[in-house]
Amino acid sequence: SQQGEEDPQALSIQEGENATMNCSYKTSINNLQWYRQNSGRGLVHLILIRSNEREKHSGRLRVTLDTSKKSSSLLITASRAADTASYFCATDRDSGAGSYQLTFGKGTKLSVIP
């Protein structure tokens, strides 16, 4: 079953606006990661936030984590046309014998209009 679910499924904004994407998950986690995927390409890691962290920044990206609500958000400030991509959250899960694997959501498709 899906661990992380992104919301909204699609988002269209004007260049220069901020974009906010949300991720909800069901079970406890050790960390949550956000990835970006340009059309037809592999995923690129953006930010990893651990369960004991509440907020992390990387350039124009800001990620928050609320473990009490089992949710995370990704904020992209001052968006650019080049930010057009799909964004995925990924949560770790115990796959047995102390091994943790990532479970990806279905993603939010962001379109930034020039």
Partner 1 sequence: SQTIHQWPATLVQPVGSPLSLECTVEGTSNPNLYWYRQAAGRGLQLLFYSVGIGQISSEVPQNLSASRPQDRQFILSSKKLLLSDSGFYLCAWSVLVDQPQHFGDGTRLSIL
**C-alpha dihedral sign at 25, 39, 110, 8:** negative
Q: How far is the CB of 2 from partner 1 (least distance, A)?
A: 7
Give the span between the Cα atoms of 23 and 3, in whole angstroms: 10
Q: How far is the CB of 107 from partner 1 (least distance, A)?
A: 6
Give the span between the Cα atoms of 83 and 96, in whole angstroms: 37
Give the interface with partner 1 as residue ranges (CB under 8 A).
Answer: 2, 30-31, 33, 40-45, 48, 88, 92, 95, 99-107
- The residue among 41 and 78 lying less far from partner 1, judged by its C-beta, is 41
- The residue among 18 and 30 lying less far from partner 1, judged by its C-beta, is 30
Q: How far is the CB of 106 from partner 1 (least distance, A)?
A: 4
- The residue among 4 and 112 lying less far from partner 1, judged by its C-beta, is 4
Q: How far is the CB of 82 from partner 1 (least distance, A)?
A: 18
